[in-house]
């Protein structure tokens, strides 16, 4: 018997410590169930929900999102069904229901029968001056509206928890004991009505989160057979058909067809993006006007929108430092006030003080004030609304702490390539140095090695080689390595080839023909070293993003210092500074990843809370070092997105000042909420001590302040783009970007009829434009390696 018990406990412990391995070993399949639980009004109910659900068989995790009244249960459906979970929660009067797929989770707009009955009876009792017997209807009003409170209060008491329902029931019982039935009915009616209005406001605030979770359609069509299948059954590499007006179900790459896709659901930018073969598309985006066939690159549960959902869910469940402080204070506040209320009720009469009824009323007022619901809600509701607004703007913030830190930022460090600049390079000059290698062989080696890299410079070099009718063969690269801060290395045909910047040249080249390099003019210069000899040089150019100057100017107007950290050369940094109008306060060039970390740490010590904005894998250490690390774009480095604290789903750099502005607004909202919550409690207590203890006033102050906190927090949902000249410039920039993308699509479509298609996607038009140009044209700078080359 003992051995069996030990084995059971061991199995349970193993499953709790290693849930994924245990699930795989036992064959259990867990799923997430989302429930709307209207009885959750503050953090006091969180512990109640966890105590109710944790003992159920097959329940692995329970999380409660108080602001949206949502409970997320991860469980084995074979061990515990959804109906069982709902029954357990409703047994405690928590009014739970399973959220249907695609629903917003919004409750009925009309009050419950309990509230209606309570209100009607209380109104009728107000005519007791005509017929004294009507006063008993006030007692009936209290009884009619109290059942949900009684269920929740009993559930809390049975688990030795003290929540607002239990405290309100004590207040109602006290009013009845004093034969003040009208006040008892008013307490119940005010409490239930305010709670309903608060729930209505919370569900309205969470509607955006619900729409995010239902972006992905449940079904998809296989292109080859036309079969309709469940999205979760689609494997990587399958080809699915997406018709006009349909939502893309899984991340993938277009293999056939052309269309425009609205990516607003992910990026917050409401303009169509052209898509053609080799273009990436993401789940949750809307295909507007054409047929496309998409080869999937991820499973449904690993798609971009699924990652967004997971990040937002984790952010909602995380608690900011302000919230943790308030929760820890509330843990001691409620018992202390309850003890004080008991003392006020008992001690004065025992000491011979007069008017025991007044002291009893005062103790009831203290009991009603013992639940700090408004104070506890002041931070999470504001954080929830701000996180939802950020997600709607295409900014994923990974928690309340990060949101608060955004509001404290005093300095921003920008990466250059792919952040301040577009990261869309063009080759302006390519020269062979010496006579050891023919240009055809050199371009073949370079394009094959660069094909294994995801850096924007690599794409430009591959395009250039293809424009010369040279096709890369990355499978022939015997060895490939990234050299952080220098370049890349590959071995082909027995040759050791380095492609990189000045550091790569100085470290690995024995012979240098400086005449071929000195007359190159331009922004970025790269070098090709073969077996220790410099055999080629090339120059590239890259322009600043539209809106970069406006974004940095907005940061300056907010009193924030902006600096540039780049692995590129000083000349490239100065060129970007010139394009920006000289508004950056500091330029740091030729940096290794560790140099960026050191400079971010120095900036934090000198200027205060610092943000780092970058997109490359070599930015990851600096992003982690900053108080807030922000990675750029959906297609940015995975390492950068992992280590960053926030992610911009689009490449719109104007979102950076918007994020800071939202963080500051959230901090102000939290402060107003906290002050209002404390002031309301203090006002009621002062009124009770100085004049007359009014139970209904205490109830109104408690639940009314909760409602005001929610409504004030909801103002954050109206945060949008900046107004005035900045907004007009952003709109014009968006229009110019749209015109450019459409012209690229038209150019690609026309070129496909005259030239063979390449694998470079939208950038093919650059190749077509370059085909007629001589490779003797020039431009220059240092070229770093892959994502580690310069940014």
Burial class (CB in 10 A: 0-12, 13-18, 19+), 155: buried
CB distance 458 to 451 below 8 Å: yes
- Nearest-angstrom CA–CA distance, 323 and 147: 31
**Closest among 44, 92, 86, 84 to 64, alpha carbons compared:** 44
Confidence of residue 101 (pLDDT cuts 50, 70, 90): low
Torsion sign, CA atoms 445, 446, 447, 452:
positive
pLDDT reported for residue 410: 95
| Overall average pLDDT of the 708-731 stretch | 64
Q: Evaluate if residue 782 carries a pLDDT over 60.
A: no
CB distance 410 to 559 below 8 Å: yes
Q: Evaluate if residue 738 carries a pLDDT over 80.
A: no
CA angle 535, 432, 539 (to 5 degrees): 100
Q: Is the pTM of this model over 0.75?
A: no
CB distance 65 to 317 below 8 Å: yes
pLDDT reported for residue 727: 45
CA 785 to each of CA 87, 499, 565, 590: distance values in angstroms, whole numbers, following the listed order: 59, 8, 16, 12
pLDDT reported for residue 612: 95
- Nearest-angstrom CA–CA distance, 715 and 708: 11
Q: Evaluate if residue 208 carries a pLDDT over 60.
A: no
pLDDT reported for residue 777: 33
Structure tokens at 547: 């809106």
CA angle 79, 84, 87 (to 5 degrees): 165
Q: Evaluate if residue 751 carries a pLDDT over 50.
A: no
- What is the per-residue pLDDT across 183-198, written as a single tens digit (0 to 9) for each? 888 889 988 887 787 7
Burial class (CB in 10 A: 0-12, 13-18, 19+), 190: buried
Residue-wise DSSP of 328-370:
HHHHHHHHHHHHHHHHHHHHHHHTT-S-HHHHHHHHHHHHHTT
pLDDT reported for residue 68: 72
CA angle 283, 289, 293 (to 5 degrees): 50
- The more confidently predicted of residues 764 and 495 is 495
User: What share of the chain has pLDDT > 90, as a percent?
Assistant: 20
Residue 526 half-sphere exposure, CB side, CA atoms within 13 Å? 30
Burial letters for 455-479: b for 16+ Cβ neighbours within 10 Å, e otherwise?
A: bbbbbbbbbbbbbbebebebeebee
Phi and psi angles of residue 242, each rounded to the nearest 5 degrees, phi first: -125, 110
Lowest mean pLDDT among 87-101, 292-306, 459-473: 87-101
pLDDT reported for residue 626: 93
pLDDT reported for residue 351: 81
pLDDT reported for residue 726: 41
- What is the per-residue pLDDT across 758-778, written as a single tens digit (0 to 9) for each? 333 333 333 333 333 333 333
**Closest among 470, 508, 477 to 493, alpha carbons compared:** 477
pLDDT reported for residue 442: 92
pLDDT reported for residue 231: 86
Question: Of 415, 428, 627, 764, which is the active-site residue?
Answer: 415
Lowest mean pLDDT among 37-51, 127-141, 206-220, 427-441: 206-220
Q: What is the largest CA-CA distance in the chain?
A: 114
CA 756 to each of CA 265, 459, 601, 750: distance values in angstroms, whole numbers, following the listed order: 34, 18, 50, 11
Write the DSSP symbol of residue 512: -
233 a catalytic residue: no
User: What residues have CB less than 8 Å from 555, skipping those under 6 apart?
Assistant: 412, 562, 656, 657, 660
Write the DSSP symbol of residue 720: -
Beta bridge mates, 632: 648
Report the SS3 class of residue 298: coil
Q: Evaluate if residue 256 carries a pLDDT over 80.
A: yes
pLDDT reported for residue 548: 92
| Overall average pLDDT of the 254-283 stretch | 84
**Closest among 469, 478, 472, 485 to 446, alpha carbons compared:** 472
Lowest mean pLDDT among 49-53, 92-96, 193-197, 745-749: 745-749
Question: Taking the C-alpha atoms of 389, 395, 397 and 400 in order, what is their torsion angle to the nearest 10 degrees?
Answer: -30
User: What share of the chain has pLDDT > 70, as a percent?
Assistant: 79
Confidence of residue 334 (pLDDT cuts 50, 70, 90): confident
Phi and psi angles of residue 435, each rounded to the nearest 5 degrees, phi first: -125, 20
Identity of the highest mean pLDDT range in 66-80, 261-275, 550-564? 550-564
Confidence of residue 497 (pLDDT cuts 50, 70, 90): very high
**Closest among 515, 500, 509 to 533, alpha carbons compared:** 509
Phi and psi angles of residue 237, each rounded to the nearest 5 degrees, phi first: 95, -10
Q: Evaluate if residue 248 carries a pLDDT over 70.
A: yes
Residue 657 half-sphere exposure, CB side, CA atoms within 13 Å? 23
Average confidence score pLDDT of the chain = 78
pLDDT reported for residue 117: 92
pLDDT reported for residue 606: 93
Identity of the highest mean pLDDT range in 361-370, 523-532, 588-597, 759-768? 588-597
Regarding beta strands 411-414 and 561-565, do their DSSP bridges make them parallel or antiparallel, or are they unpaired?
A: parallel
């Amino acid at each position: 018997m003992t051995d069996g018990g030990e084995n059971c406990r061991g199995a349970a412990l193993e499953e709790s410590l290693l849930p994924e391995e245990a699930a795989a070993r036992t064959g259990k399949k867990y799923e997430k169930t989302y429930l709307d639980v209207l009885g959750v009004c503050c953090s006091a109910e969180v512990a109640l929900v966890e105590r109710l659900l944790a003992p159920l068989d097959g329940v692995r995790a329970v999380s409660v999102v108080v602001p949206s009244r949502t409970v997320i249960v991860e469980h084995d459906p074979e061990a515990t069904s959804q109906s069982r979970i709902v029954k357990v929660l409703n047994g405690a009067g928590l009014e739970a229901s399973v959220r249907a797929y695609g629903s917003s989770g919004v409750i009925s707009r009309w009050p419950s029968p309990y509230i209606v009955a309570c209100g009607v009876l209380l109104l009728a009792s107000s005519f007791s001056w005509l017929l004294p017997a009507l006063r008993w209807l006030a007692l009936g009003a209290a009884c009619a509206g109290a059942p949900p409170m009684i269920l929740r209060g009993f559930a809390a008491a049975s688990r030795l928890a003290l929540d607002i329902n239990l405290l309100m029931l004590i207040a109602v019982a006290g009013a009845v004991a004093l034969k003040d039935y009208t006040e008892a009915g008013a307490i119940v009616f005010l409490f239930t009505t305010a709670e309903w209005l608060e729930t209505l406001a919370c569900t309205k605030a969470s509607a955006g989160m619900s729409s995010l979770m239902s972006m992905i359609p449940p079904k998809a069509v296989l292109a080859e057979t036309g079969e309709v299948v469940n999205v979760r059954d689609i494997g990587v590499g399958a080809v699915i058909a997406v018709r006009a007006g349909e939502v893309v179900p899984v991340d993938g790459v277009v293999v056939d067809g052309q269309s425009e896709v609205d990516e607003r659901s992910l990026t917050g930018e409401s303009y169509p993006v052209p898509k053609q073969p080799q273009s990436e598309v993401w789940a949750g985006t809307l295909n507007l006007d054409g047929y496309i066939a998409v080869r999937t690159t991820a499973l449904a549960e690993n798609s971009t929108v699924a990652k967004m959902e997971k990040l937002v869910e984790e952010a909602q469940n995380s608690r900011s430092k302000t919230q943790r402080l308030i929760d820890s204070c509330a843990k001691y506040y409620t018992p202390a006030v309850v003890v004080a209320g008991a003392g006020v009720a008992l001690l004065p009469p025992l000491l011979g003080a007069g008017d025991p009824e007044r002291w009893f009323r005062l103790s009831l007022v203290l009991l009603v004030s013992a639940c700090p619901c408004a104070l506890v809600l002041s931070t999470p509701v504001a954080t929830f609304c701000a996180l939802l607004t950020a997600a709607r703007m295409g900014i994923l913030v990974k928690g309340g702490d990060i949101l608060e830190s955004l509001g404290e930022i005093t300095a921003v460090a920008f990466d250059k390539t792919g952040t301040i600049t577009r990261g869309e390079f063009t080759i302006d000059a390519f020269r062979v140095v010496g006579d050891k290698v023919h240009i055809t062989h050199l371009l073949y080696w370079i394009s094959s090695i660069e094909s294994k890299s995801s850096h924007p410079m690599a794409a430009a070099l591959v395009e250039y080689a293809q424009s010369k009718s040279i096709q890369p063969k990355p499978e022939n690269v015997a060895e490939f390595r990234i050299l952080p801060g220098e370049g890349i290395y590959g071995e082909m045909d027995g040759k050791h080839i380095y492609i990189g910047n000045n550091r790569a040249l100085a470290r690995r080249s024995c012979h240098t023909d400086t005449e071929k390099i000195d007359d190159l003019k331009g922004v970025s210069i790269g070098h090709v070293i073969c077996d220790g000899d410099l055999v080629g040089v090339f120059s590239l150019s890259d322009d600043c993003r539209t809106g970069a100057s406006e974004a940095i100017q907005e940061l300056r107007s907010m009193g924030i210092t902006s600096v540039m950290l780049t692995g590129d050369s000083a000349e490239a940094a100065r060129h970007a500074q010139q394009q920006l109008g000289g508004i950056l306060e500091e330029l740091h060039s030729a940096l290794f990843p560790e140099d960026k970390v050191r400079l971010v740490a120095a900036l934090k010590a000198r200027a205060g809370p610092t943000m780092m904005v970058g997109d490359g894998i070599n930015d990851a250490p600096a992003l982690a070092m900053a108080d807030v690390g922000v990675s750029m774009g959906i297609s940015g480095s995975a390492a950068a997105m992992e280590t960053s604290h926030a992610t911009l789903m689009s490449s719109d750099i104007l979102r950076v000042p918007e994020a800071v502005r939202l963080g500051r607004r959230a901090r102000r909202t939290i402060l107003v909420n906290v002050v209002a919550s404390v002031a309301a409690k203090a006002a009621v207590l002062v009124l009770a001590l100085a004049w007359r203890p009014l139970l209904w006033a205490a109830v109104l102050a408690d639940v009314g302040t909760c409602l005001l906190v929610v409504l004030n927090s909801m103002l954050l949902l109206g945060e949008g783009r900046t107004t005035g000249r900045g907004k007009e410039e952003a709109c014009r920039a968006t229009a110019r970007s749209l015109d450019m993308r459409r012209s690229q699509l038209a150019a690609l479509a026309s070129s496909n009829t005259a030239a063979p298609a390449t694998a470079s996607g939208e950038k093919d038009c650059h190749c077509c434009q370059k085909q007629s140009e001589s490779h003797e044209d020039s431009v220059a700078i240092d070229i770093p390696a892959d994502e580690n080359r310069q940014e």
